[in-house]
């Protein structure tokens, strides 16, 4: 699992029990996963279709840094399914796990549209993403 981004837990993110509010964490997951899916699909025009069972494993507290890990687990013609884990950056303790989050790519009219990984196997998509990253790094280096 690769971890892509982090959030600092602030006082306004807490519930009355002084732990990270679950709804706040889910909002962060939805936003971060949408960014990840959009990058994978080659378009920012994505919507969340489904979040599967959500498993809260442990808590986060004010001052903690939480990090978000994503992995592509299925590729459809217009959709991409990711697995998500959020952990405490300092302790590496798992906070929450979402087995499947399904995103759908949209066209300019808001209708489902094929994306740039449509028709690829997971391995082909992984290699394509790796090539895209290498090309981006080469452009930045020159």
At 105 the pLDDT is 97
CATH number of the domain enclosing 93? 3.10.129.10
Q: What is the pLDDT of residue 1?
A: 78
- Cα separation of 66 and 64, whole Å? 6
Domain of 74, in residue numbers: 2-141
Binned at pLDDT 50, 70 and 90, residue 5 comes out as: very high
User: Distance between CA 120 and CA 32 in Å, rounded?
Assistant: 23
- Asked if 51 contacts 34 with a C-beta cutoff of 8 angstroms, the reply is no
**Global confidence as pTM:** 0.88
**CA 93, CA 30: separation in Å to the nearest integer?**
20
**Per 3-state DSSP, what percentage of the chain is helix, strand, and coil (rounded to 5)?**
30, 35, 30
Q: How many domains does the chain have?
A: 1
Closest CA to 20 of 51, 56, 53: 56
Tokens of 86: 């959020």
Over 90: is that where the pLDDT of 130 sits? no
The answer, yes or no, to whether residue 4 has pLDDT greater than 90, is no
């Amino acid at each position: 699992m690769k971890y892509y981004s982090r959030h600092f837990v602030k006082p306004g993110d807490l519930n009355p029990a002084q732990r990270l509010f679950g709804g706040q964490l889910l909002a962060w997951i939805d936003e971060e996963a949408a960014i990840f899916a959009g990058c994978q699909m080659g378009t920012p025009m994505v919507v969340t279709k489904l979040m599967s069972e959500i498993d809260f494993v442990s808590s986060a507290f004010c001052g903690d840094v939480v990090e978000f890990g994503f992995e592509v687990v299925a590729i459809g013609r217009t959709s991409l399914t990711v697995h998500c884990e959020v952990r405490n950056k300092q302790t590496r303790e798992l906070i929450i796990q979402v087995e499947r989050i399904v995103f759908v790519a949209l066209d300019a009219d808001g209708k489902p549209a094929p994306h740039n990984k449509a028709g690829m196997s997971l391995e082909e998509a992984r290699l394509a993403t790796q090539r895209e990253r290498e090309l981006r790094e080469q452009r930045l280096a020159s």
